[in-house]
Amino acid sequence: MQQPLTPAAQRVLDRATEIATTGQSSAVAPRHLLRSLLLEESRASEILGGFDVEISTVETVFPDEKSVPPVETTVESALTETVPFDEPSAWAIQEARHLAGIQGRHSEVGTEHLLWGLLVVDSDVSAWLREQGVQREELTQLVDEKTGFSAAPLETDVRIEFSQPNVSQRHNAMRIIDAAANRAREGVRVVEDYVRFISDDAHLSALLKSWRHDFAAAISAIAPHDLAAARDTLSDVGTTISTTAEAQRDSAAEVLQANLKRVQEAVRTLEEYGKILAADLGGQFEQLRYRFYTLEKSILSTLHNQARLAGRNLYLLVSEALCHHGSGPAIREALAGGVSIVQLREKEMPDRQLVEFGRRVRQWTREAGALYIMNDRPDLAVLTDADGVHVGQEELSLKDARRIVGTEKLVGVSTHTIEQARQAVVEGADYIGVGPVFSSTTKQFTDLAGLEFVRQVAAEITLPWYAIGGITADNIAQVAEAGATRVAVSSAVCSKENSQTAASQLMTALSNNR
């Protein structure tokens, strides 16, 4: 809704048009508006008088035309497209309308609003007015005092109920919100560039993009124009302050870290100052902040686990029953052949025996510099000093397993669909199992996820993942071709006469098909 003009404001615009026409200017400029404001006896001229701004001074400073006597009649509307107001003047009038709008649905655009508009829009006149001591903060207070507030709420097409802080408080909040919104937008772009171009992670990139869109939607509750009007980069004391730490970044990862923090801080600022404008706005930014924390965790955890599991591409699931010549020799051979993670997978073994077995596996893997993972049982992972635990979709949840093993140990999760894989990333798995790819002699499956699932994961997930299920020396090339760089096997190594040869064949096939 366009705010109506008070008769005095209408006269000011008419007179400004007259002054411009008389001076043969092609458009009404801010200087014409200023003269007109001073010539009309009004709130604006009263305010300007308080700052010792007089018509004679203005005529000397902006001497190109002569002022004309007051017009008797009101021009139909000085705001129609036919009236040649130049860009800064048109913006100044828009600003005036906005300010009046903030003050309530029924408030009219007065001369004091026009003066405000003239001051906030960049022009020779606003610069000069500032030099004369007419400062925005002081002016907003004067406008507040002069107009008071209408009880009627601001008409807006968004759901958010804006509160009615006084104009200067609102202006200050807007200024902060404008700066913080820019900071968050820029920061999230930097993060997105890292995840997209350096991590190459389509899933996390999509999550960041969706966050960015929801952030933009939350910000759009505030008219962009309102935000831009509050911007005053030139007089922002912060633009010249920067620390040595900010000027120096040794790596892209450092850039990432700094910008993750930057976004969180900016959104926190938006949350706090947003509350001044509308309670709901603070709540929306709070939700966005929490979502960003989760995103940060997924991004950093992916990087951390890529580093932790770097080069560990062959993962062996061991069951005593599968090892023809005993688990000890089989494990040692497998380790010599290139296996770098060993999972103890015993479904029937009594706990006491399992703990004992686990402690031996711990020792063998430690000697070989390999990792040892306990299947299904976080409690026994802790007891046997395992490097981690692996849980399936039907077993203890990732969250519960994590509560038992803590943050240092790895928690691996089995996934059978792309949705489960995405969810495991977001929930904080350290790696995922991707399968079953083929039917297996180790475990019966009614449904196979197949090579298509391997392709899906390869296309979008960079958290370490292991293709699993029926993988052998005969079909490993297909798995690698589908995008797997890591595999987990059981019988293809465990039940072979020579587990070392079996393992090294798989390792060679993996690296040949990269």
Ligand X SMILES: Cc1ncsc1CCOP(=O)(O)O
Ligand Y SMILES: Cc1ncc(COP(=O)(O)OP(=O)(O)O)c(N)n1
**Where along the sequence are the contacts to ligand Y (CB under 6 A)?**
315, 317, 343, 345, 375-376, 390, 392, 395, 412, 414, 433, 443, 466, 468, 488
Task: Choose between 317 and 331: whose C-beta lies nearer to ligand X.
Answer: 317
**By CB under 6 A, residue 443 contacts ligand X:** yes
**By CB under 5 A, residue 329 contacts Mg ion:** no
**By CB under 6 A, residue 491 contacts ligand X:** yes
**By CB under 5 A, residue 392 contacts Mg ion:** yes
Distance CA 355, CA 246 (A): 51
Distance CA 85, CA 466 (A): 67
Tally Cβ neighbours within 10 Å of residue 346: 21
66 vs 20, 21, 63, 72, 183, CA distance in Å?
Answer: 9, 11, 8, 18, 46
Please choose which of Mg ion, ligand X, ligand Y, none residue 183 contacts, taking the beta carbon within 5 to 8 angstroms, the exact cut-off set by kind. Answer: none
246 vs 138, 243, 252, 253, 306, CA distance in Å?
Answer: 34, 5, 13, 14, 27
Least separation in angstroms between CB 436 and ligand Y: 8
Q: Is the separation of the CB atoms in 89 and 33 below 8 Å?
A: yes
Least separation in angstroms between CB 207 and ligand Y: 24
Tally Cβ neighbours within 10 Å of residue 82: 8
Q: Which of 187, 469, 506, 510 binds ligand X (CB under 6 A)?
A: 469
Please choose which of Mg ion, ligand Y, ligand X, none residue 489 contacts, taking the beta carbon within 5 to 8 angstroms, the exact cut-off set by kind. Answer: ligand X
Task: Choose between 384 and 414: whose C-beta lies nearer to ligand Y.
Answer: 414
Distance CA 221, CA 52 (A): 39
Positions 288 through 317 that interact with ligand X (CB under 6 A) = 317
Task: Choose between 269 and 440: whose C-beta lies nearer to ligand X.
Answer: 440
Please choose which of Mg ion, ligand X, ligand Y, none residue 442 contacts, taking the beta carbon within 5 to 8 angstroms, the exact cut-off set by kind. Answer: ligand X
**By CB under 6 A, residue 396 contacts ligand X:** no
**By CB under 6 A, residue 435 contacts ligand X:** yes
**By CB under 6 A, residue 436 contacts ligand X:** yes
- What residues are paired with 413 via a beta bridge? 391, 432
Please choose which of ligand X, Mg ion, ligand Y, none residue 490 contacts, taking the beta carbon within 5 to 8 angstroms, the exact cut-off set by kind. Answer: ligand X
Task: Choose between 17 and 327: whose C-beta lies nearer to ligand X.
Answer: 327
Least separation in angstroms between CB 394 and Mg ion: 8
* Catalytic residue annotation: 345, 414, 443
Least separation in angstroms between CB 414 and Mg ion: 7
**CB pairs under 8 A, 24+ apart, for 227-236?**
227/174, 227/177, 227/178, 227/181, 228/178, 229/95, 229/98, 229/120, 229/174, 230/171, 230/174, 230/175, 230/177, 230/178, 231/175, 231/178, 231/179, 232/136, 232/175, 236/179
Q: Which of 129, 341, 492, 502 binds ligand X (CB under 6 A)?
A: 492
Residue with tokens 């200024």: 175
Q: Is the separation of the CB atoms in 180 and 269 below 8 Å?
A: yes
Binding residues: 343-347, 375-376, 395, 414, 440-443, 470
Q: Which residues bind ligand X (CB under 6 A)?
A: 317, 435-436, 440-443, 468-471, 489-492
